[in-house]
Amino acid sequence: MSTPEELLDQLENKGYFIWDNFLESHTTKAISESWNEKIQNAELKKAGIGRADNYQVDAGERGDFIFWISKENTDEFVKTYLEKIEALITDLNRSFFLGIRDYECHFALYPVGTRYARHVDRHRSGSSRIVSFVFYLHENWHTEDGGHLCIYENDELVEKILPAASRLVVFLSEKEHEVLTTNRSRASITGWMLNK
């Protein structure tokens, strides 16, 4: 188990870190249950690729459905998550002078057989996304379930990360990454720390 200082060192040295047990499992479970209700109520929309002025959806490249989280209007369990993210932002700003001023996040659901092809979250022109973070909701996720988050460095795969429950992965948004095809329905909260 790494200390918070070690995790921040990893962000500086490798461009990402993995924080296991970011929330207690009962909180993750509660978030997962409220998310399941939203899925039942189908309050989801298909995620697009590209910037707002170049919005397009290609299900072969990106297969997830999303639901944006309102910071003001959400349940206590998601609030617990957001508060921990805000504390992390304070630490990151203190250590790296990243100038993070805000963040945004959404639930994401990848149905069986979908993926997100290799990409970066920080688009060359005008993106305010500095740091990406993904928090996974499914318990008992096994290698054969797929849906790994792959991190690349100089075109080479450096790590295949299992989307295990209560795991938070934090990476620089300019880093190349990919979601492998999932063999199970895959739920997460994905977010971005913004410099504006």
- Residue 138: which of ligand OGA, Mn ion, none does it interact with, CB under 5 to 8 A by kind? none
State in angstroms the smallest separation of the CB of 121 from Mn ion.
Answer: 4
Q: Which residues neighbour 123 within 8 Å (Cβ) at sequence distance 6 or greater? A: 50, 51, 129
Of the candidates 178, 188, 163, the one whose C-alpha atom is nearest the C-alpha of residue 66 is 188
167 contributes a contact to ligand OGA by CB under 6 A: no
How do 45-46 and 65-68 pair as beta strands?
antiparallel
121 contributes a contact to Mn ion by CB under 5 A: yes
Q: Which residue is nearest to ligand OGA (CB)?
A: 149
CB-CB contact of 67 with 20 (8 Å): no
Subset of residues 49 to 108 that bind ligand OGA, contact rule: CB under 6 A: 108
Taking the CA atoms of residue 104, residue 8, residue 13 and residue 119 in that order, the dihedral angle to the nearest 10 degrees is -20
Residue span 98-137 as binding mask against ligand OGA, x where in contact by CB under 6 A, dash where not: ----------x-------x----x------------x---
- Residue 149: which of Mn ion, ligand OGA, none does it interact with, CB under 5 to 8 A by kind? ligand OGA
State in angstroms the smallest separation of the CB of 145 from ligand OGA.
Answer: 13
State in angstroms the smallest separation of the CB of 33 from Mn ion.
Answer: 25
State in angstroms the smallest separation of the CB of 61 from ligand OGA.
Answer: 11
182 contributes a contact to ligand OGA by CB under 6 A: no
**Residue 21 amino acid letter:** N
How do 129-136 and 186-194 pair as beta strands?
antiparallel
State in angstroms the smallest separation of the CB of 94 from ligand OGA.
Answer: 26
DSSP codes, 32-101? HHHHHHHHHHT--EE--BS-GGG-B--TTTB--EEEEPPSSS--HHHHHHHHHHHHHHHHHHHHH-----
Residues that bind ligand OGA (CB under 6 A): 108, 116, 121, 134, 149, 163, 177, 179, 188, 190
